[in-house]
Every structure is written in structure tokens, then in C-alpha cells.
Amino acid sequence: SPSGSFHAPPGSPVAQHGHIQVVGPRLIDSHGVPVRLRGMSLFWSQWGGKYWNSRVIKWLVKDWKISLLRCPMGVEAGGYLQKPRAEQRRITRVVDVAIRLGIYVIIDWHDHNATAHSKKATDFFDHMSKTYGKYPNVFFEVYNEPIQQLWATEIRPYCQSVVETVRKHTDNLLICGTRKWSQEVEEASLLPLKGKNLAYTLHFYAQSHKEELRVKARTAMANGVAIFVTEWGTCRADGDGTVDVLETTKWMEFLEEYNISDANWAISDKSEACSALQPKASVRGHWPVSHRKKHSRSTNSRLFAHHGGHHASHHAVRRHGTGGLTDSGRLVRASLREWSASHHAWGTPTPKNSSGHSPGRGDAEDGDDDKDDDDDDDDDNQKTTTSTTSRQDQDIVSAAAPLARVWALACSACLAIGLSVVWAGQSPW
């Protein structure tokens, strides 16, 4: 872990907000100001570990403007239970990078059966909280998604045990999953955990979960507990389907209204709708924005439908290469960048007078990639696609765009993409 008397970089989210605490249903920073953190989730560590590196995280901070990174450490199916040392090294590597960059980071016990692995989980969080509890950056998500386990007699006792273990070392934020893939937050609010700085997990996927889940969240918050959306997708609950722009817009407006922090699923090149990256995207970041996913016909039609009345050509879309951002990736990146531009630093609204689900398995990895990659200049068995990066730093949306109007963001994003390709001497359609 970072050594000595480490201080967050000036101007970074952690330098601005410091230690986060829960007061009623809200997250409050060290100055007593409500805060909302926004960012991305990595993919299951045992299958998406190639993106668990410093270059990717630095790019997400620089280009996507994240203030939060979620690190879902896989537990079963070749994860921590089978390879504890490799998985712990992988977690340590990315948490250290997040601390040095001054962003918040969630250590996630990514498990559907944590109650069956209670001893392993308790020992893991004992070590992690002892190692990282002194840093305000680090949050602990102790149970990703329970399924049908009962809250009162299974999930709650497990979470309470981990809470007591972590509290021996730190009072940093601790987040507990709720029943039925972390959706039954109102049930947890009726029999909450004992302790302070505790939040409850809500997960949603826009194409599958709609107003009925927002009603549950409102009920939980009215009962006085804090909600943290540690995982959400623009698509269907199984990670695939199509990008649901309209319902994503409603969810973004809901999260903004209630100041709920969130991390989008996921930085992955798995061939499914919720992946932010196209297959074979670089493991070093710097992903082209303007490449379009070959098979996303229905999504492309919706994203590009408002360009002066012109619709996207399906044939033209198919001619674009791979390796950049998917429809979901472009949409989420635009939302994060707009949020950052509309707020002073990260999380605090800019004054008006200022100038300014269970995803599929994927391809398994052998766990031998756990060496430090900070200064590694060797090839990553794939080349970074750079044909359209000359305009990648161009803002997709104006800072004056209405906050969290994701539909407008999507249209603006695609217009900028089209213009960038035209300027490069190519036809966008």
C-alpha cells in the first residue's frame, strides 16, 4: 500500500471530500456537505483482470472523469477461493493506484454465496481493513449480490459479522448487499445493521428494472438508510440485450434527485450490451470513442436518430472497426464527463455564477498477470487502436448541457463522433 504520510493529490476527489460518512440516507463529506460519487466498475477479476491495471485506471480518471472505481474480486469459479494470493495481489494493485490518484475505491467481495464463505470473507476483510483502513479512499462492499438468502437470518448476520471485524481497524464506509440480486433494499431498511457509516446496495439494469425498483429505493431512504448503487447497467439484467436510453435517463435523473452514488458495469470487452469496450479493446486505455459495435443495430438507430432527422446507416455501422467504446461505453462516458463539468471538482454542484444479472463467465485467465504494470512498456498481445484518437479529448457534450439528460448526451455524443470522422476525411455513415 502507499507508504508514509500519503496525501491525496491536490484537486482530486479525495483531496476535496476527504472521509465520507453516512448521515441518515445521505453521504456527507468531511466538510459536512452532501456528496455524490460517480464512476465505473471493473469486470470480475478472474475473467476481466487484463483491465485491472494502472494505465486503464489513469485513463478512466483523466478521460472519463471518474471519482469512484469498483473492484469486483471474483470469489467462486476460479476466483479467490481457488487462487487467494493471485486475487489479493490483483486487488492490492488497483487499490494502490486509486489511492495514489486520489479517487475513491470499493473493495468488492463479488459473490452470490458469501454466507457460505463467511470465514474466508471475514479473514479477507480483516486484512484489507487493517491494510487500507487509514485511507479515506477505501470502501468495503462485503456482499455483492445475495440471491434468495433471507435477510433476517442469513444476509444480515453475515454482514454484521464483517462489520464488527472491519470496525476493529477503521470506520470507513461499509456497503452490504441486499436480497434478490441487491434489489430488496426496503426489506433491509426495516431491520438495518447495527453500527455507523453503513450503506445498502441497490443494483439495477435499465432494460429490466424500472419504476417498481425505484419505489423500493424511495421506501428504504424514507426509512432512514443510505443507498449506494455499486453496480448498474444500461441494458438487460443478464448483461446483454440492447442499451435502453430512455430508462437509463430515468434512472440517472432518479440518482441525481436523491444524490445517490453509482458505478456503472463494466470495463470489459466481453461481447455483450453492458460492456463499455468492444472486443480486443486496448488494455492500456486510450480507447477510440467513434468506433461502433458491429452488431448493435437497434441501439445505433436509437442513439443516432436525432441527427437533424437522419438515421444511422446499418451498412455504414458494420464497416467500422472494433476496439473502441460500445454504445453503452460512449453513453456512460458522456454522462460522467458531463457530470464532472457541471460540478466543482467532483461531487459538489457548480455555483450558478461560476464560469465554469449475473454477467456471463467470459474468457478465463490464469492469474499470472499480477505483476506490477506501472512501468511495463512491453506489448500486451494487442495493439492500441489509434486511428481516431486525435479528437478523443474533445468534449462530447457541452458543460452547459442539462445535467443527467442522458438522451441529449447520447445524441450530442454521436454528433461529435460523426463530426470527428468527417474531419478525418471519412464518412460517418
- The Cα 121–Cα 86 span in angstroms is 16
CB 206 within 8 A of CB 234: yes
Largest Cα–Cα distance in the chain? 63
Q: What is the pLDDT of residue 415?
A: 42
DSSP string covering 75-110 = -STTSTTT-HHHHHHHHHHHHHHHHHHT-EEEEEEE
Catalytic sites, residue numbers: 145, 231
Q: What is the pLDDT of residue 1?
A: 60
| pLDDT score at 414 | 45
Q: Give the gyration radius of the chain's Cα atoms.
A: 20
Q: What are phi and psi of 310, to 5 degrees?
A: -95, 140
Q: Please tell me the predicted confidence (pLDDT) of residue 348.
A: 54
- The whole-number pLDDT of residue 346 equals 53
The whole model's pTM is what?
0.78
Q: What is the mean pLDDT of each run of 10 residues along the chain (429 residues)?
A: 74 97 97 97 96 98 98 97 98 98 98 96 98 97 96 98 98 98 98 98 97 98 98 96 97 98 97 96 93 41 33 29 84 97 64 36 35 41 34 36 45 43 33
Q: Report yes or no: 284 and 313 within 8 Å, Cβ to Cβ.
A: no
What is the secondary structure of 340-402 as a DSSP string? Answer: HHTEETTTEEPPTT-------------S---S--TT--S--SSPPP-TTGGGTTS-SS-TTSP
Rounded to whole angstroms, the Cα distance separating 55 from 401 reads: 30
| Whole-number pLDDT of residue 343 | 82
How confident is the model over 261-318, as pLDDT tens digits? 999 999 999 999 999 999 999 999 999 997 444 433 343 333 433 322 222 222 222 2
Q: Tell me if 205 sits within 8 A of 357, measured CB to CB.
A: yes
> Which H/E stretch holds residue 72?
strand 68-74
